[in-house]
Structures are given as C-alpha cells and as structure tokens.
Amino acid sequence: MSETKFANPATLGLMAFGMTTVLLNLHNSGLFPLGSMILSMGLFFGGIAQVIAGIMEYRNSNMFGMTAFTAYGLFWLSLVSLIVIPELGLAQPAGKTATFLRRRRRGAPVARGECRVVGECGAANNHCSTTC
C-alpha cells in the first residue's frame, strides 16, 4: 500500500507570515490605521492559516516547519486578541492591569492622581497618612 503524498504547506505558511508582517509594518510606519483589514489578516491569514500550515508540516514530519508556523500563528492570534478583547469590553487593556507589577523606586516621583504613603505602617502603628 502506498503512502499518500501531501503538498508542501511551507508556501501557505510563508505567504501568511510575509503578508501579515508587511501589513503590520505598514501600520507601524503610519501609512495605515489599525483597522479591520490588518486585524482580519492577522486573525485568519496570519493566525489560523499558519497554525494549519504547522499542523500540515507535522504530518510531513518537518518539526522545524511545525514549530515555526504554529508559533507564529499563535503569536498572531494572541496579538489580535490583545487588541480586540479590550475593545469588546471583555477585559481591561494590558497596560492598565499590569501596572501593579512595576515597583517604584524609593523617592521616585508619584504620578498625578496616585497617592504615596508617608510614615510607617505596621501592626504597632495602625495609622498611615497619605499625600496625593
């Protein structure tokens, strides 16, 4: 029994990678706004098509192609999700939720609207005064 021969999926994967990268860089250079054209290409052509190409590369026993295309495809899916999910109101933008991870240097200026604790706060001293 002969084994079924599949087409080379690298053409699809490389075309999807190239087109979406060029479109995103056209936006980054200021020639196009970040609209439905770039987001749709990133979701379907850059994301889903590259994941499909990666799965087809796995079937052809090409582990490098599988890793590269699925990784780039999942990158594009996550990039579009980072842009679209806050716009749909399902989550806050990443910049607003990750601010607690940044530690402020001692004595660094406080941003407008933020408060800084002045004095010692502890179990023995239950009062803290703040300045804004």
What digits encode the pLDDT tens for the residues 74-100?
999 999 998 888 888 888 877 655 544
Question: Within 10 Å of residue 85's Cβ, how many Cβ atoms?
Answer: 14
State yes or no: pLDDT of 128 exceeds 60. Answer: no
Q: Which contiguous run of DSSP H or E holds residue 94? A: helix 94-97
Report helix, strand or coil for 69: helix
What digits encode the pLDDT tens for the residues 45-84?
999 999 999 999 999 989 999 999 999 999 999 999 988 8
16/38 Cα distance (integer angstroms)? 12
Which one-letter amino acid corresponds to residue 55?
I
DSSP for residue 43: I
State yes or no: pLDDT of 14 exceeds 50. Answer: yes
Domain residue extents for the chain = 10-97
Say what the pTM is: 0.65
